[in-house]
Structure 1
Amino acid sequence: MTGFYPIINLMGNTKLFVIVLAPQSSMNGGKAMLQEYKKIMVGIDGSVESANAFDRAVAVALRNDAELLLVNIIDLRAFQSISTYDTMVAEDTKKGAEQLIADFAEEAKRAGITKIQTRVEFGSPKVMMATTVPKEENVDLIMIGATGLSYIERLFIGSVAQYVTAHAKCDILIVR
């Protein structure tokens, strides 16, 4: 077998992760094929892990002259504890996320990335990062930070990284 395959850790060790490459044609005469990416999506949530994913995404985008798509998905479940849904809270949250994404976009620009797109959306981070946004934006590489969830948290709610690994149709790089 050729290519990269996910390493699955069933014991809950958080020191894993994975590069998952979508299947490719073997019409290259048995030589290693370098993937060229045109559009790289990176999830930005303000965590150290997402900043690490951003740094790696900038490097890959520069090598590939690729467009960088910076995405922040605001989890609607965060508003369930608010007794009466307050649109001001949602608007303030979105403004904060937009500022976060704008700061990262500016950093990417300073690093030499010329094609930058940003998206801030409300929804399920898992679904939006794994399927919705990549399909709408024609993404060919998703880069996200590994989660800091404990084994119990992953067991009951799962991580965005795990969900993306299982459901995305393009290449994925999960960064620690």
Structure 2
Amino acid sequence: MAENQAKVAMETSAVEKQPETRTETKEAPSMVRTKRIMVAIDENDSSFYALQWAIDHFSNLLLTTEAVQGGTLTLVHVQSPFQFPVGPGFPTAAVYASSAMVESVKKAQQEASTALLSRALQICRPQKIRTETLALEGDAKEMISETVDQLNVDLLVVGSRGLGKFKRAFLGSVSDYCAHHAHCPILIVKPPKELTK
């Protein structure tokens, strides 16, 4: 009888140690985090070449499918703030502009930005990818780097104008500055030799 009680106790402990079976409902798979690629656009053909290169090589990250919510392609153009020429022949005290003149110049700058971004959108349209545009004013290097941080950009694409060492030293290079200050990977797309001539 003592043996039977021991058997029963062993069987009970074996049953108690079995894992519980739970019925779980599977939720739909969560969408993969949206990617954001930003391309800097300016008046140079090298920036449009960089845009086309980015579309050709990264469209798989930007397209929406059933399992993946497509990314966003952000096109940014930074317009330099309007300044009157100052220097020899332009005494600072003698240069005064009417508000109508300042407004006229600003309007022309906005129209130029709109035209550039429209041209860039025409390149993106056939790919059917989500695209947004930003027209900013300020120093291009600084504004692009700040915008990268504000929008949590995953990749910044900029074109290289192919400035020589002398021009780069005096003018500064947007791509060089962004490579050191933007807090995301940066891709500098060099144009083919035909565009640099």
The equivalent of 1:143 in structure 2 is: 157
Residues 79 and 60 of structure 1: CA distance in aligned 2, closer, same or farther (over 3 Å): farther
The equivalent of 1:111 in structure 2 is: 127
Structure 1 stretches of 4+ with a deviation exceeding 6 A read: none
Q: Structure 2 residue aligned with 1:154, among 160, 168, 174?
A: 168
Confirm or deny: 8 A CA contact 1:37 1:140 kept in the other structure.
no
Q: Structure 2 residue aligned with 1:70, among 57, 69, 75?
A: 75
TM-score by length of 2: 0.64
For the aligned residue pairs, the C-alpha RMSD in angstroms reads 2.0
What is the CA deviation profile of residues 39-83 of structure 1, one whole-angstrom value per residue up to 9, with x for unaligned ones?
A: 01001112121011101221244121221000000122x634284
The equivalent of 1:20 in structure 2 is: none
Confirm or deny: 8 A CA contact 2:149 2:182 kept in the other structure.
no
Displacement after TM superposition at 1:94 (Å): 1.2
Q: Structure 1 residue aligned with 2:83, among 79, 86, 111?
A: 79
What is the CA deviation profile of residues 13-42 of structure 1, one whole-angstrom value per residue up to 9, with x for unaligned ones?
A: xxxxxxxxxxxxxxxxxxxxxxx9700100
1 CA distance for matches of 2:44 and 2:178? 17
1 CA distance for matches of 2:175 and 2:36? 19
Q: Structure 1 residue aligned with 2:38, among 38, 41, 45?
A: 41
1:46-57 equivalent positions in 2, closer than 5 A: 46-57=43-54
Matched positions, count = 138
Q: Classify the secondary structure of the residue corresponding to 1:45.
A: coil
Q: Classify the secondary structure of the residue corresponding to 1:41.
A: strand
Query: Which AA in structure 1 matches 2:142?
Result: V
Structure number with the higher strand fraction is: 1
Displacement after TM superposition at 1:164 (Å): 0.4
Q: Classify the secondary structure of the residue corresponding to 2:161.
A: coil
Confirm or deny: 8 A CA contact 2:44 2:161 kept in the other structure.
no
